[in-house]
Structure formats: structure tokens, C-alpha cells
Amino acid sequence: MKETLPLGRIAGVRVGLHWSVLVIVVLVALMLASGRFPTAHPGESAWTYWGLGLVTAVALLVSLLAHELAHAVVARRNGVEVDGITLWMLGGVARLRSEAREPRADFRIAVVGPLVSAMAGMLFAGVAAWLEVLGAPGLAVEAVTWLAVINIVLALFNSLPAAPLDGGRLLRAFLWRRTGDRVRAALGAAAAGRLLGWFMVLTGVASVLLSGELAGLWAALVGWFVIAAATDEGREARLLNVLAQVRVRQVMTPDPVTVTDTTTVAQLLAGAPFRGYRHSVLPVVSQDGTAVGLVTLTQINHTPVRARSVTPVGQVMRPLDEVVTATPDEAVPDLLPRLQASDERRALVFEGERLVGIVALSDISRAVAWLTAMARP
């Protein structure tokens, strides 16, 4: 889930919004402004209902952000790299570049999310009770009460033992500790997730057909998302199992073609694709051969045509500190999450300070295809 609008960093974690957040803001505001608020406290203006509905929707997003931020902070404390957090239509996603090394760390990372949501629910409940004692407007009390209820519901829902929910992570940690097999544990959590997803889809559709209420469509949509995400997690678990003993040197392209940082964009294009530069992604080196970055065809295309003859590649490349790197003896499953989180889907491979190769997701996919074919009876 790629962010559309970056919001900066909170507690050292990059936070962004996906465009679909607008959908959840509008849906929540619509539900509250045209349904719950007028029904509970009639007589107010439409502007009042809509204004409070939008504020309540934004407060819900802040609650979701706190939930995901808790995952990210605890993950970092347990040695798991965090790429960032993206809020989107169905909640939030904390993008982890690596995985927990032991069941206990997996458990701690998973359990903190529902705990934060439950605490937020109790906090909102306390604020609602306090506002009522102070004699605040009933509409304000209603909004805060709704936030309390929805956060507690989210905490309970997320605790269900099914991937990709936090409860699925807890189930995975439990099975991992009990069996000692992380892949088997992940497959068990994924199976539970698909079962939960189909239950939600079937009950949601049945609710629409039997009662005529469209609210069941939301449950069906969430269920479909759970099925898709759980299936992806099961597929990834099988993939990691296939790649368990594979090292980066076995899948990388050794001695990759490079371009110097002083080469102009026009010179680079003149040498491609039928002469020196036949790839869409190239490592960039300085005059002494030291790797300094990575340049992609997309970055080159963003360079204005008139400026290409005077713009060196070093100005348009992605610098080395922003590029995924690896070592030849690193296990491919350890590299894979970092590759998936990167924009270029490439990693430069170093032996000491010397560039020895480049590896792409397509290289890993090709290796998986061969290994799967070899293992098939």
C-alpha cells in the first residue's frame, strides 16, 4: 500500500495517507451526519451534523494511526525494520521491512495494536462521561461515545485469531512457539483468515438479501479484503519456505553494468538499449568506481528533454543511502521484505565496500519458479 500524501515522521516512523482515506472520511461523516446524529439529537442544523461528523471521522483516523504507530514502535524495539505507516480506506498498514526473529517478539508486536485501541476506547468513554457531568451538548457526548464504542469494537475485531488481523499474528506466534515451525504457523493463521473472511462475506450477502439493508455490504467488503490478505500471507509463507536455504549470491546478477555519475542523461540514452546500457535500472558509480547510487528509466524520463544534455546522472539518481543493499551471503528471505517495500524493487549487493551484483524481485521470482518445478513430483 503506497502512500499518496506524506505527512512526515512521528516517533521516527514515516507516516502517509492513501487517497482512499477520503472514502472512509466521507462514509463515516455521511453515516453520522445523516443517520446517528440526527436520530439521537434532532433539531440541529445540517452544517452542525456534517461538521461534527467530519471531526469525528478525523478523530477515528487518529485512533487508527495510534494503533499502527504502536505496532511500528514495538517492532523497532524488537529489532524489526519499519519502512513506514500508510492510512487507507480499511484502516492502516505498518510496513515492516523484516520479520520478528522469535515468537515472543512476534507476540509483542501483534498484541500492542489491540491494546492501544482498547485504551483509546476507554479514554474516549471517560471523556464522554466527563462531558456529560459538565453538561456539555448531547451531540458532542454522542460523538465521543461513538468513538469509544468503535475503538473497542476495532480492538475486539482485530483480536480475532485470523490473519491478517492482529489476532492472526497472535495465533501465528502461538503456533510458532508450540511447533517451532514458522511457516506452518503462518499457514495455519492464513487458513483461519480465509475461513473468517468467507464467513463475513456470506453473512454480509445474506443480510443484504434477507433484510434489504445495505450495511451488510460493508461486512462483505471487509471479509473479501481479509480473504485476499490471508491468501497473500499464505502464499508468502510458502515462498519463504522455498527460499529458506537460498543466498543472495545465487540469484543476483554479478558484475552489473554501471554508469558513472558524471555521464549526462543524453549520453546514457545514446548508449541504450542496443549498446552499453540494456537495463532499465543501473548502479551509478563515481570516477574511482565506488558505488554512489541507482538510476532508473523512470527517473531519466522525468528529466526535461532540453536539460538532458547538461544534467549528469548523479543529479537524478537515488543516492546510495536510500537504496536497498545486501551482502552475497545474506539469506534471500531476509532481503525479500526490503525489496518489496522499495520503489525500485532492486538491491545492490556489496562485498565489503565493493559492488559485486544487483538483484531484483524478478530474479527471485525466477528462482522460485525453478525451485518449485524441481520440487514438484
Beta strand 253-254 with 259-260 is unpaired
190, 151, 157: which is closest to 172 by C-alpha? 190
- What is the grid cell recorded at 22? 477520503
Q: Over the range 351-365, which residues count as b (16 or more CB within 10 Å of their CB) and which as e?
A: eeeebbbbbbeebbe
From the candidates 3, 68, 142, 344, which is the catalytic residue? Answer: 68
Is 330 among the catalytic positions? no
- C-alpha cell of 236? 508468502
Q: Say if residues 44 and 100 touch (Cβ distance below 8 Å).
A: no
Residues 1 and 87: their CA atoms lie apart, in Å, by 9
Phi-psi region of 11 (alpha: psi -120 to 50; beta: other; left: phi over 0): left
Query: What single-letter DSSP state applies at residue 275?
Result: S
3-state secondary structure of 353: coil
List CB contacts of 152: < 8 A, sequence separation 6 or more.
Answer: 117, 118, 121, 122
Q: Report the catalytic residues.
A: 68
